[in-house]
Structure 1
Amino acid sequence: MSDATRIHCPKLRKKVMTAEAAAALITAGSNVGMSGFTGAGYPKAVPGALAERIRQHNAQEGNKPFRINVWTGASTAPELDGTLAEVDGIEMRLPFQSDPICRDRINTGKMDYVDLHLSEVSQNAWSGFLGKMDIALIEVAGIREDGSLIPSSSLGNNKTWIEQADKVILEVNSQQNAKLEGMHDVYYGTAMPPNRKPIMMTHPADRIGEAYLRCPAEKVIAVVETNSMDRNSAFKAPDAVSIKIAEHILEFFQKEIEIGRLPKNLLPIQSGVGNIANAVLEGLNDGPFKNLTAFTEVIQDGMLKMLKSGTLEVASSTAFSLSPEGLKEFNENIDLYREKIILRPQDISNHPELARRLGIIAMNGLIEVDIYGNVNSTHIMGTRMMNGIGGSGDFARNGYLSIFVTPSIAKDGAISSIVPMVSHVDHTEHDVKIIVTEYGLADLRGKSPRKRALEIINNCAHPDYREQLMDYFERACNSGGGMHTPHLLGEALSWHQRYEETGHMKPKN
């Protein structure tokens, strides 16, 4: 494919226009499905042009507010979420976001937000639960002569959006590496019950679909040429807390191998995004583990290192989330990586059936966990949305091992990540197998609630809060109430209330 033009279909070449002209085709109140997943493969030009159009419209006295509903794969970037939220252009957002302006509008009630398991978004769209999709706005790396689309640096929900939308706007981004072509595996065999059939995949390296996205030329109403990089956030070097958490996990893996519960090459790993995740990946790369595989949502810098060293044989994902250095490394060595990376739609990368069949080792972060193992991964103090549940629930409930990691404290010790009762539940105690902080690892498998409480308090709680947690637990056990999961209902959320009132979870002496 020549870099002189990425549009080889004559019919679609005739539909090339400016971002402003394409944005004018999106009307107020539209449901717009946009590409993008963790800052990769999102449209770069049309959202900004649309935001400017909205700003001008809303500035005119007497006009009804111009807002649209934005559906994506996951989080995107300031050029999409931020710019539209800043002009109050988003009525409803789903299924995951990480933009600070969106977050503020969600938490002040100015924007509706639907938080969904990422594996279920497509099914919700197929079923009509989300309403009719009017327009799909999709970034691609190129258009082939037959009109099929070369996907970009993420697949996310692009297949579903193109299928479900009445009209399609394409952004063809020549900044995306042309050698992405062939790296994707787009599965077209998904069906609704009762016609659903097993997905024929038994290994993360299995290819079950096609390399390209199908899109009828008559659906396409605009093609916009761009030349813009994905958002690439720098990763910080792992700090002492992250390194300690990684050490606990690696030691746990080694013991599981010795017992015989894990093979020497482990099982396919799934890893959330962030510095702790990268610390674990670096530890795996430096450790004794070989011939590993990954079946995950996002490929970040740590996985590139593992693929290059040969520690990781293959990585199946739906998107990249690379630092500037990671992107440079990927582009310079793409011939190596294209043989080891497969990008899939997120309804496959996060599919519960595949997570269960492959025996995924899921490693994800949390905001808080209570002494019985219930995890809150979305809400601050029970009411304020952080980002969303993402794909953690897809893997936690269905994987072989569900590991949740967190520093033991936040806000310089004002908040304990281990609390008597979580202020919001995303993952119940039934789905949480392992909790890890810098102080240790709590293995909750096969333990009753009271034994889980002792395991978590003694192994994971920060020393500044350990005595306070034990005092709560012991008094709950002696309260004369239910002894299966002892609680003091009048105090269960008092730590959160105290923080809201005083700025600290510990009582004043």
Structure 2
Amino acid sequence: MALAERVRHADFLSRSMTAEQAAQHVAHGATVGLSGFTGAGYPKALPQAIAAHAQSEHKAGRPYRINVWTGASTAPEVDGLLAAADAMAQRLPFNSDAMARKKINAGEIDYIDMHLSHVAQHAWFGFLGRLDVAIIEIVGVTADGLLIPSTAVGNNKTWLEIADKVILEVNTKLPLRLEGMHDIYYGTALPPRRVPISLTHADNRIGEPYLQVDPRKVVAVVETHSGDRDNVFSQPDANSQRIAEYIIDFLAHEMKHGRLPQQMLPIQSGVGNVANAVLAGLLHGPFDNLLGFTEVLQDGMLDLLRAGKMKRASATAISLSRSAYEDFEKNIDFYRERIILRPQEISNHPELVRRLGIIAMNSMIEADIYGNVNSTHLMGSSMMNGIGGSGDFARNGYLSFFVTPSVAKDGKISCIVPMCSHVDHTEHDTQIIVTEQGLADLRGLSPRQRAQAIIDHCAHPDYRPMLQDYFDRARQQGAQHTPHLLGEALSWHQRCLDTGDMRK
């Protein structure tokens, strides 16, 4: 489809140019807000042009690095290319790219890990500094100059509002029939002028289907014709299926005892294979008329919508495998009536998470025996991905599950440890921990009771005696509220670093 058919505003169309020409608007030292959230809706052409420009500048002996802000993760052709070209000085708030991760852990990129609900408001408050350029993927421009959003909203609304300059990437490969799927809320304000957000049900629409931009800011319009990255979700393995079964049985038990309403509360699910396994379990579970209120709509939630088990799903991005995306595009009219895409300052807003009573399910790297959770760091100091939105939902959800297989690396690493090597979610935010071994309901338990429940129900049999021995000896020494052997608390991690195995 020709660009003129997608950009129906003559003034914007007159600013069309190549990605290489548009990249000249991004100077060394600039802070750049990119669209994109978990492999969806990211700019396809500009990051590659910027990376090539950076390499050219470096070859000529001139410095060139930029600060990059996004909604969440992007794709190898964004974070990976910019990192490989040594073009990134700073990155926030979430990254899953291997090359960028390598540079972050080598200290070559300053990475700022943030709760996703904080990013837009901290940017508006001025806490993060000035935003020089916004580069936003859209699928079209109306005759009135309104922007038709892409497969992710993320922080795009905020970047468009606060950036000095805007570059629009019009992706002609993505279907124009996305128009009408989005709900962009413009009712937020800075303190002390804030008012309650008028969302009382997960499937309410409270905004408008378009993004707004000051036309005077738009310095370039670039055509692209490239799809989002393909996510790869493996079929649920036995461990993931067991975790899903424990969660579904628990939810049914809570409903039976009146601690959940008969009409299930809205569901949030983190990203990954375990999360998709839980959604697959719900597909065959006893619950109907489900609602989703989450960050990323993945294959499993699409299956629930298609099967009629879920009525509607609210998210900030659609991130699918290739086969699921083909189904989405083929049946987009069906899905447009059932999917609502919002800015992440709404999808992750603590006010709404608490009001709606969200049931939150997120993955973790490790948990300790008292329920502290590490979801970001390997062995205490090596960044994996970032906290993402898990904290937004864990602290404010009606129920909060953290899930993981009980061991990793062929059993050499226990995901239940005496003390977490890094803490993202404290024991105060953790309600329920689930592994393939079982489920530990930590609500209403003291620290020592929590420890025994986690050891008994969540630890792998190979590590359970070691954990019990540590806990028993800790109770024989010192303070008894949260017993620890400080000289041994992180010895499992040190042993793994020294030998490659946590086992003695």
The TM-score with structure 2 as length reference comes to 0.99
How far, CA to CA, are the matches of 1:218 and 1:267 in structure 2?
Answer: 44
> C-alpha displacement at 1:501, in angstroms?
0.6
Aligned equivalents of 2:173 and 2:235: distance in 1? Answer: 28
1:3 & 1:273 partners in 2: Cα distance? 34
Give distance in 1, aligned partners of 2:252 and 2:280. 16
Please tell me whether the aligned partners of residues 201 and 354 of structure 1 are also in contact (alpha carbons under 8 angstroms): yes
- Aligned partner of 1:277 in structure 2 is 275
Cα RMSD (Å) of the superposition? 1.0
1:340 aligns with 2:342: no
The residue matched to 1:24 in structure 2 has which SS?
helix
**2:440 equivalent to 1:448:** no
> One-letter code of the match for 2:487?
G
Residue 493 of structure 2 is matched in structure 1 by 496
* Structure-2 residue corresponding to 1:301: 299
Displacement, 1:3?
7.9
Output the CA distance in 2 between the equivalents of 1:319 and 1:447: 37
CA distance in 2, matches of 1:149, 1:302: 29
Matched, 1:286 2:284: yes
More deviation, 350-359/225-234: 225-234
Aligned positions of 1:31-180 closer than 5 A: 31-61=31-61, 63=62, 65-180=63-178
Q: Are the equivalent residues in 1 in contact too, given 2:138–2:171 (CA < 8 A)? A: yes
Q: What percentage of residue pairs aligned between the two structures are identical?
A: 63
Q: Quote the offset at 1:2 in angstroms.
A: 8.5
Compute the displacement of 1:59 (Å).
1.3
Q: Secondary structure at the match of 2:6?
A: coil
- Native 8 Å contact 2:265 2:291 kept in 1: yes
Checking the alignment, whether the CA contact within 8 Å between 2:401 and 2:432 is kept in structure 1 is yes
Q: Residue 22 of structure 1 contacts residue 222 of structure 1 at CA under 8 Å; is this kept in 2?
A: yes
Pairs within 5 Å for 1:230-269: 230-269=228-267
Residues 54, 87 of structure 2: 8 Å contact kept: yes
User: Which of 478, 483, 488 in structure 1 is aligned with 2:480?
Assistant: 483
Once residues 114 and 332 of structure 1 are traced to their aligned partners in structure 2, the CA distance between those partners, rounded to angstroms, is 39
State the Cα distance separating 1:386 from its structure 2 match.
0.2
SS in 1 for 2:5: coil
- Counterpart contact for 2:4–2:13, Cα < 8 Å: no
For the pair 1:467 / 2:457, whether they are aligned, the reply is no
| 1:498 and 1:504 in contact (8 A); partners too | yes
Residue in 2 that maps onto 1:182 = 180
- 2:389 corresponds, among 385, 388, 391, to 391
1:415-430 alignment runs, 5 A limit = 415-430=413-428
Between the aligned partners of 2:482 and 2:122, the Cα distance in structure 1 is 35
* Contact 2:132/2:164 (8 A) holds in 1: yes
- Is the 1:36–1:75 contact (alpha carbons within 8 Å) kept by the matching residues of 2? yes
The residue number in structure 2 matching 1:12 is 12
Counterpart-to-counterpart distance in 2, 1:305 and 1:265: 20
In the TM superposition, residue 228 of structure 1 has moved relative to its aligned partner by: 0.3
Deviation at 1:232, TM superposition (A): 1.2
How far apart in 2 are the matches of 1:344 and 1:353? 15
* Residue of structure 1 aligned with 2:191, choices 180, 190, 193: 193
1:437, distance to aligned residue in structure 2 (A): 0.2
Contact 1:396 1:402 (8 Å CA) reproduced: yes
> What is the CA–CA distance in structure 2 between the aligned matches of 1:224 and 1:398, rounded to whole Å?
40
Q: What displacement does 1:4 show?
A: 6.5
Equivalent position amino acid for 1:25 in 2: H
| AA of the residue aligned to 1:274 | G
Q: Deviations over 1:224-254 (max 9, x none)?
A: 0011000012210011110111011111011
Secondary structure, counterpart of 1:506 in structure 2: coil
Residue ranges of structure 1 left out of the alignment (5+ in a row):
none
Distance 1:2 1:345 in 2: 28
The equivalent position to 2:226 in structure 1, one of 215, 228, 234, is 228
Deviation at 1:194, TM superposition (A): 1.1
Tell me the residue number matched to 2:503: 506
Question: How far apart in 2 are the matches of 1:79 and 1:380?
Answer: 25
Compute the displacement of 1:265 (Å).
3.0
Does the Cα contact within 8 Å between 1:381 and 1:496 map onto a contact in 2?
Answer: yes
CA shift for structure 1 position 5: 2.1
C-alpha separation between the residues in 1 aligned to 2:498 and 2:68? Answer: 35
C-alpha distance in 1 between matches for 2:483 and 2:25: 58
Q: Which residue of structure 1 lines up, in the alignment, with residue 23 of structure 2?
A: 23
- C-alpha distance after superposition, 1:17-43 (max 9, x if no partner): 001000111100000000000010000
Conserved? CA contact 2:314–2:339, under 8 Å? yes
Shift of 1:264: 2.6
Distance in 2, Cα, partners of 1:334 & 1:260: 38
Residue-pair matches, total: 504
Partner Cα distance (2:2, 2:226) in 1: 17
* Residues 308-344 of structure 1: CA deviation (Å, up to 9, x unaligned): 1111011000001100011001011111110010000
**In 1, Cα distance between equivalents of 2:333 and 2:137:** 22
Q: Are the counterparts in 2 of residues 264 and 290 from structure 1 also a CA contact under 8 Å?
A: no
Deviation at 1:193, TM superposition (A): 1.3
TM-score (norm 1): 0.98
1: CA distance, partners of 2:206 / 2:212: 15
Q: CA deviation at 1:257?
A: 0.9
Task: State the 1:217 CA deviation.
Answer: 1.1
Deviation per CA, 1:433-474: give whole Å up to 9, x if none: 000000000000000000000000000000000000000000
Q: How does 1:317-336 map to 2 (within 5 A)?
A: 317-336=315-334
How far apart are the structure 1 equivalents of 2:454 and 2:232? 33
Residue 237 of structure 1 aligns to a residue whose secondary structure is: coil
Equivalent-residue separation in structure 2 for 1:128 and 1:253 (angstroms): 42
Aligned partner letter, 1:183: M
**Is the contact made by 1:169 and 1:221 (CA closer than 8 Å) also made in structure 2?**
yes
> 1:71 Cα shift?
0.2
What are structure 2's unaligned runs of at least 5 residues?
none
- CA offsets, 1:207-237, max 9 Å, x none? 1111100011111000000110000122100
